[in-house]
Chain A
Amino acid sequence: MPSSCDEKIPRIEHHQNNSDVSITICGYWSLNSRERLRLLRRWESLVLQWKDVLRFEIKCDESLVWDSSLVVFLRNANRDLSVNGGQVVFLDLPAGLNKLLNLADEGQKRNKEQKQDPPSDGFLSMEALLKPLDFLGALVISFLNLVRGRSVMRWRDFFASARNCSASALPIVTLISFLTGVTMAFVGSVQLEKFNATIYVADLVSLAMVREMGALMVAIIMAGRTGAAFAAELGNMNLNEEIDSLETFGICSVSFLVLPRTLALFVMTPLLTIYADIVGILGGLLVGTLVMGFSALHYLEQTQSALTDMWEVYSGVSKSLFFGLIIGFVGCYKGVFSGRDSASLGKSVTSAVVISVTLIIIADAFFETAFSLLELR
């Protein structure tokens, strides 16, 4: 029978005399070897048998072939065998193996020294509530400074943001509000047919657009498009310490970065809302003329009579002012206070969108309730 050390499998030989055990590692130790797993299982039961042994001598066979699997095995063996107070001695390990074991030990020691307390989770703490208020205060102050003409805000940053959140958003706003108008017209026409009042589709579409859908659709598009972009942009600047370097120059980051962006949204969201209202009404017109067979003039006259009270239009536009503020504020806040790694940057962007959409819907419900309580509707 050939010696098992010649085969390509790992082996452990051991014999015990009194309170000493001598262990010889031999064979072929490889991470890929399936034999190794079987051997490790046997090893575990051996360790249990040796509870009372005082001294272990571990040495290696000369023809031993090894890789990381053996280093890991020896590290674990050292730990397992000394748990019960036994002494473990390594005898003439191959030089490379010895070095790797020592390096790993040192690295582990260093890690222990540097281990730090996990950061406390600030969720639902007082700070989580105060920080946004603090930020809002800073934004208001920097706005007042701007009004007094003492702000570091650069108008070209404002115009760049304004262009980004208006002109380049036109295609998507056009598409979505047009289709909203078309859809509402179809839905309305089915219901109104029952009462033989199909021309009131013009009222339905125009009122729904200017009161609700225009502002809401634009706000949601802006939150997903611009709010997310602000959070990502400012978050990345935070990551690069760019915001820190602004502060060290004595440049207020809120005035310099947050104000132009929020202001741009504040100005542009209402304009986009008016545009969306018009496009939505045109969507309704398309269905009214091509599908329902009204003349364009008739349809538009009906629309005009529905909108005689301009308050309907103003109420939607005034809501969108607030929506713009919400999106700008949440996007910038999430960006400035995102963590300093790319994973938390991703989280910040996501939560900027989720939080602004939620706040927009809440604010919308709030406005509608207030309008109806004040008998403005």
Chain B
Amino acid sequence: MNVSGRDDIVIRVESLDLAYGNHLVLKNISFEVRRGDCLVVMGGSGCGKSTLLKSMVGLLAPLRGKIIIDRDELWLNGDKKRKETLKKLGVLFQNGALWSSMTVFENVAMPLEIFTDLGVKEVENLVDYKLALVGLAGAGNFYPSELSGGMRKRAGLARAMAMDPEILFLDEPSAGLDPITSKRLDDLINELKESLGISFVVVTHELASIFDIADDSIFLDSESKEILAHGNPKDLLKENTLTKVRSFLERKTVNNS
């Protein structure tokens, strides 16, 4: 327990098995995320990173195991309790998943309109602020189909942050962004972590990002379907001896030099 009297662990995943129908994707996954930390989920394409994220945000019931978010077990309780838990989360999907019939502004504003009693002006100010945070000030009137892939990602991030969640789940936030925007995004993540104490679970392939934002990481493997390595990526780079992990982490360091 820390000073605020709250549990230090914000997410605990215990021996989780995930499957689509009878196609097993991940098995025996266990890890924890400390409050205010950023956990990075790494692994090759198709190893089940998005799947893991999906089940942590209440979209895919696990075959076995537990997901505990802020002391509430996500999949044990009924739909109603789960919805309450989900309100603490913000999610950025891999492709943005913006509501295509609404403008960017309406996308960010809608959760606020539904779940809060804020006035029109207040909502407007909040949305403008969130859009400015992700560098989309002035793009509020565009429809998702009029945005570039990277802009959609950032609009999705603004929407994920709309309700000031305690935990943000980001699926490849920097894929499709140029290096400068991508760096700005990493800075934003670090800033939110420090100033607001938001916890993050981030799926990313960008090695530069990984070293920038991660406090902890897990490396998923599509062959064994388990966690292959677990720890701070900088330590993994120094100490881990598995070839799969090394080649993943070193590729970028080689490119960087």
Contacts and interface: CB of A to CB of B under 8 A. Distances in A.
Interface in B5-30: 20-23
Contacts, number: 61
A110 to B, nearest CB: 9
B57 A248 contact: yes
B46 A114 contact: yes
A120 B222 contact: no
A309 interface: no
B83 A242 contact: no
Given A117-B22, A249-B86, A251-B114, A244 B222 contact: no
Contact of A120 (B21, B89, B93): B21
Given A114-B46, A152-B114, A250-B83, A245 B99 contact: yes
B58 A240 contact: no
A5 interface: no
A116 B222 CA distance: 12
A244 B111 contact: no
A244 B54 CA distance: 9
A348 B89 CA distance: 32
A248 B100 contact: no
Interface in A215-266: 236-237, 240-242, 244-251
B95 A113 contact: no
A119 interface: yes
A241 B93 contact: yes
B86 A250 contact: yes
Interface in B95-120: 95, 97-100, 111, 114-115
A117 B46 contact: no
Contacts of A117: 21-23
Interface string A108-136: 00000110110110000000000000000
B59 interface: yes
B21 A245 contact: no
Contacts of A119: 20-21, 23
Contacts of B157: none
A238 to B, nearest CB: 11
B87 interface: yes
A240 B95 contact: yes
Contact of A247 (B20, B58, B111): B58
Contacts of B163: 249
B91 interface: yes
A242 B222 contact: no
A248 B21 contact: no
A114 B222 contact: yes
A152 B163 CA distance: 16
A235 to B, nearest CB: 12
A113 B224 CA distance: 10
Contacts of B159: 245
Nearest to B80: A250
Question: Which of A236, A244, A246 counts the most B-chain CB atoms under 10 A from its CB?
Answer: A244
Contacts of A114: 46, 222
Given A120-B21, A251-B114, A242 B86 contact: no
Contacts of A250: 83-84, 86-87, 115
Contacts of B59: 244, 247-248
Question: Which of A113, A120, A250 counts the most B-chain CB atoms under 10 A from its CB?
Answer: A250
A246 B95 CA distance: 14
Contacts of B239: none
Given A119-B21, A120-B22, A240-B97, A248 B86 contact: yes
Interface string B75-94: 00000000110110101011
B223 interface: yes
B222 A113 contact: yes
A116 B24 CA distance: 9
Contacts of B57: 248
A251 B79 CA distance: 12
27 contacts: A113-B223, A114-B46, A117-B23, A119-B20, A119-B23, A120-B21, A237-B100, A241-B94, A241-B95, A241-B97, A242-B97, A242-B99, A244-B54, A244-B59, A244-B93, A244-B97, A245-B97, A245-B99, A245-B159, A247-B58, A248-B58, A248-B59, A248-B86, A249-B114, A249-B163, A250-B84, A250-B115
Interface of B: 20-23, 46, 54, 57-59, 83-84, 86-87, 89, 91, 93-95, 97-100, 111, 114-115, 159, 163, 222-223
5 residue pairs, one from A and one from B, having the closest CB atoms: A241-B97, A250-B83, A245-B97, A248-B91, A116-B23
Given A241-B95, A250-B86, 8 more contacts: A117-B22, A119-B23, A237-B100, A241-B93, A245-B98, A247-B59, A248-B57, A248-B86
Interface of A: 113-114, 116-117, 119-120, 152, 236-237, 240-242, 244-251
